């Protein structure tokens, strides 16, 4: 082979390798987005049960959660917060828009999720539908751990609240 053909072959190999690497990075980024989206929807599902253990495992051991100014630090504090609601009001968290952005290094991500929360008493279902307790956003920080993706921090940011009498 002459030098020109070798240069062409080398260039072709580099292009294919670069395209393969870019496709792999895109696949990893999409996998992270999918995993973080599942954390968001699983939180709503298990929170509404309420299943404190299932909620807690969605968070890192040192996670923080801020709901209406109440701050909870650590997986156990978050679990205890959910467990305290067992037998209390019935909640339903309706999740809609979810936007996840993965960091360049692929080890962390941030996300914003729209949520509408309804609350009823603990009586039999179905109940009469009332206005939402709140409409807002979850602002999340996610972290890739050896156990998979977890929520490292969650802040509820109210956007609409009911009129107080």
Digit-coded pLDDT (tens) for 45-99: 999 999 999 999 999 999 999 999 999 999 999 999 999 988 889 999 999 999 9
CA angle 114–118–119, rounded 5-degree value: 145
On whether residue 101 sits in a domain, the answer given is yes
26 lies in which domain range?
3-160
CATH code, 78: 3.10.450.50
On whether residue 105 sits in a domain, the answer given is yes
On whether residue 95 sits in a domain, the answer given is yes
Number of domains in the chain: 1
On whether residue 165 sits in a domain, the answer given is no
Digit-coded pLDDT (tens) for 111-162: 999 999 999 987 778 888 888 999 999 999 999 999 999 999 999 999 999 8
Cis peptide bond N-terminal to 92, omega within 30: no
Q: Is the pTM of this model over 0.75?
A: yes
């Amino acid at each position: 082979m002459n030098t020109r053909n070798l240069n062409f072959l080398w260039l072709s190999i580099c292009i294919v390798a670069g395209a393969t690497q870019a496709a792999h990075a895109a696949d990893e980024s999409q996998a992270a987005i999918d995993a973080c989206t599942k954390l968001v929807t699983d939180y709503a599902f298990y929170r509404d049960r309420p299943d404190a253990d299932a909620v807690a495992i969605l968070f890192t051991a040192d996670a923080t959660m801020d709901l209406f100014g109440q701050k909870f630090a650590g997986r156990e504090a978050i679990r205890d917060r959910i467990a305290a609601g067992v037998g209390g009001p019935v909640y339903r968290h309706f999740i809609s828009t979810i936007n996840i952005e993965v960091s360049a290094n692929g080890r962390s991500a941030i996300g914003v999720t729209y949520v509408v929360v309804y609350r009823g008493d603990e009586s039999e279902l179905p109940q009469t539908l009332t206005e939402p307790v709140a409409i807002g956003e979850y602002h999340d920080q996610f972290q890739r751990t050896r156990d998979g993706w977890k929520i490292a921090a969650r802040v509820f940011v109210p956007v609409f609240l009911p009129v107080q009498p």
